[in-house]
Copies of this chain bind each other. A is one copy, B any other.
Amino acid sequence: MNLLLLEETDFIDADHVRLSGRRLAHMLDIQQVSVGDTLRVGRIGGLMGRGTVLELDNGSALLAVDLSESPPAKLPLTLLLAMPRPKMFRRILQHCATLGVPEIILLNSVRVEKSFWQTPFLQPEVVRENLLLGLEQARDTVLPTVRIEKRFKPFVEDSLPGIIDDRLALVAHPGDYPACPRGIDQPLTLAIGPEGGWIPYEVDKLIEAGMQPVQLGERILRVETAVTALLARLF
């Protein structure tokens, strides 16, 4: 935890917060803070700054906070992701929040197993919890949005062209395609397939909607690795 994130309900007035639960345990057990110590803090969706510990016991902590710093810029990106296997999904949410993805759309694909959509990790509070873990790591306060699109064809035909809006749009897919560009400095819609890849019909539909296929070389990456590798190369 590189940043202590503050919920609206933590604020007892404009400059003071009272914390308990996981964040208090982390302060006590890992950071081993004492009264008078200052910590990096950030208001979820808002500014970052310093918090000074005024009171501390096993039940709660009272901090005076001074928030004046903007969170880091997000990537100019909409990430379209075939719904990953649940265990990997949690880590991908964390990675995406850490790397500065502002908008994630979870999409169906023939190679997405039906059971993936049943995971409790898709419950909004679990999604939020994992995104917060990623923000804490990166020192960011702004939660990415996560949208679920279980029907591939209507989404790609009806919604995707409006999302792309004539800007750069790439679908990462192994094959005889141009290499993924590097260090682009423009808004992007990026589609990343499931383990095993999009099926040819899906690639064709994504291309029809305005996406250009690109590849990352002959090594086959896990989705989790591909997300980080693509974003690091593109931005």
Contact = CB atoms under 8 A, between A and B. Distances in A.
Interface stretch (A120-128, A150-158, A214-222): A214-222
A186 to B, nearest CB: 16
A21 interface: no
Contacts of A228: 225, 228-229, 232
Nearest to A227: B228
Interface residues of A, number: 25
B137 A221 contact: yes
A103 interface: no
Given A233-B232, A233-B233, A95 B220 contact: no
Interface of A: 2, 72, 95, 98-100, 137-140, 182-183, 217-222, 225, 228-233
A219 B95 contact: no
A232 B230 CA distance: 7
Contacts of A233: 182, 232-233
Nearest to A73: B218
Contact of A220 (B2, B217, B222): B2
A87 to B, nearest CB: 12
Contact of A72 (B99, B100, B182, B218): B218
Contact of A138 (B95, B219, B231): B219
Given A228-B229, A232-B228, A222 B98 contact: yes
Given A139-B220, A219-B140, A225 B72 contact: no
